[in-house]
């Protein structure tokens, strides 16, 4: 399976997450705001987006490309100060179509130092689970979150 990390960013922290994921999983990293992306080249995608004023920055791009995203394994990573829970779920639900959300695995990654996460993708996005093995010294003592198939 061939995959890629696609991201949108406003201030740059989301680009950092996208690059960390791409580096760790050996995947191409592409900015949806600057590049034309041939989605037919990829079997699975990791979409990384900030939450800006209760909306996902990648919403317009997803809406535009919805037909080409159907049938792909998708992991969606939201970057914000909001912890996982009903508020974040509602913001995601207000930003994207219900069918898209139902077929994507959502991971919430915080931006504060205590919440910062580093994601590693291995295997198939359809069967994901999270593990937090503890502090990760190469990322300034932040936690590492592994995403497994």
pLDDT in tens, 6-27: 999 998 889 998 999 998 888 9
- Provide the CATH number for the domain around residue 42: 3.40.50.360
Tally of domains within the chain: 1
Indicate the DSSP class of residue 41: G
Does 129 fall in a domain? no
pTM of the full structure: 0.75
146 assigned to some structural domain: no
**Within a domain: residue 105?**
yes
> Residue 67 sits in which domain range?
3-115
Q: Helix (H, G, I), strand (E, B), or coil: what is residue 92?
A: helix
Does residue 127 sit within a domain? no
For residue 96 the two structure tokens come to: 């994207």
Give the pLDDT of residue 110.
Answer: 66
Tell me the pLDDT tens digit for each residue of 70-122: 989 999 999 988 888 889 899 999 999 999 998 888 888 865 433 343 333 33
What sign has the CA pseudo-torsion 98, 100, 102, 106?
A: negative
């Amino acid at each position: 399976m061939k995959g890629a990390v696609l991201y949108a960013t406003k201030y740059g922290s989301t680009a950092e997450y996208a690059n960390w994921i791409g580096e760790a999983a050996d995947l191409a990293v592409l900015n949806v705001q600057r590049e034309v992306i041939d989605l037919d080249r990829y079997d699975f995608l990791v979409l990384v987006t900030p939450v800006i004023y209760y909306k996902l920055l990648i919403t317009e791009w997803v809406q535009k490309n919805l037909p080409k995203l159907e049938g792909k394994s998708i992991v969606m990573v939201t970057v914000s100060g909001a912890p996982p829970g009903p508020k974040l779920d509602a913001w995601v639900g207000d930003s994207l179509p219900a069918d898209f959300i139902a077929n994507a695995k959502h991971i919430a990654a915080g931006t504060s130092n205590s919440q910062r996460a580093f994601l590693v993708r291995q295997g198939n996005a359809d069967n994901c689970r999270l593990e937090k093995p503890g502090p990760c010294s190469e990322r300034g003592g932040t936690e590492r979150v592994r995403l497994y198939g």
